[in-house]
Amino acid sequence: DQQVKQNSPSLSVQEGRISILNCDYTNSMFDYFLWYKKYPAEGPTFLISISSIKDKNEDGRFTVFLNKSAKHLSLHIVPSQPGDSAVYFCAASVTGNQFYFGTGTSLTVIP
Amino acid sequence: ETGVTQTPRHLVMGMTNKKSLKCEQHLGHNAMYWYKQSAKKPLELMFVYNFKEQTENNSVPSRFSPECPNSSHLFLHLHTLQPEDSALYLCASSQETRANQPQHFGDGTRLSIL
């Protein structure tokens, strides 16, 4: 039973526009959430994280939003650039214990 | 990023072969992990080591045998694998387990079982 779900396998966005990637989870005990980015033939690279005491964390063009009541996490990329084209994974854990990953969303940013 | 290095990058082996995957991290971390990624499935945690001690074994079949000689090196010994074991095997490290810190991944070994 998947505890972290990314229901959109793919997303296409025009360069310069906003990309919004979504993630839902079922375990209300999760208190630490991360986003990873993965290029083909490379391992996942850590992008940004958020703990459950916050509802927003921002790092440059990347912002992660957490809605605990909805058990929903989203990653906003603005403005989107062609180099952002990759697979994005969300992950969640209870105090850094076992991480549960989603199946990923493939983002294509069209020049 | 060269913080976590995995070798080999690709491996093809028969079901009766014995081979080993190697992972090395240069980040000064104390925790290391093996994950399996099969097509269209989320990453599955296999093993966790913290300060060279195994702390997690997620019901992994005994044909997979991990070894952690020190905090910088992690091996996955493979023996008598099945075709369904074909997958991408990823190694990761973090400062320690049970802490809100990201894990850093290697580029993986793509394993194909004939």
pLDDT digits (tens, 9 = 90+) for A14-43: 999 999 999 999 999 999 999 999 999 899
B37-49 pLDDT, tens digit per residue, is 998 899 999 999 9
> Which of A20, A18, A26, A17 has the alpha carbon at shortest distance from A8?
A20
Is B104 in Cβ contact with A99 (below 8 Å)? no
- Contact between A21 and A13 under an 8 Å Cβ cutoff? The reply is no
Residues in chain A: 111
Q: What is the pLDDT of residue B35?
A: 96
Residue of B nearest to A103 (CA): B42
pLDDT of residue A69: 96
Query: CB distance A95–B97 less than 8 Å?
Result: no
* Cα–Cα distance list, A106 to A8, A28, A58, A84, A89 (Å): 8, 26, 21, 10, 9
Mutate to test the interface with B, among A8, A31, A50, A103 (most CBs of B within 10 A): A103
Q: What angle do CA A7, A99, A77 make, to 5 degrees?
A: 50
Cα B43 to Cα A15, A20, A91, A103, B93, distances in angstroms: 29, 22, 10, 8, 15
Query: A96, B99: Cβ pair inside 8 Å?
Result: yes
How close B17 gets to chain A, by Cα (Å)?
Answer: 25
Q: Residues B49-64: pLDDT tens digits?
A: 988 888 888 889 999 9
Are B45 and A5 within 8 A, CB to CB? Answer: no
Give the residue from chain A lying closest to B94, CA to CA: A96
DSSP-assigned beta bridge partners for residue B87: B111
Give the model's pLDDT for residue A61: 98
Residues of chain A contacting residue B100, judged by C-beta atoms under 8 Å apart: 31-32, 49, 51, 93, 95-96
Q: What is the DSSP letter of A35?
A: E
How far does the CA of residue B15 sit from the closest CA of chain A (Å)? 25
State chain B's maximal CA–CA distance in angstroms. Answer: 40
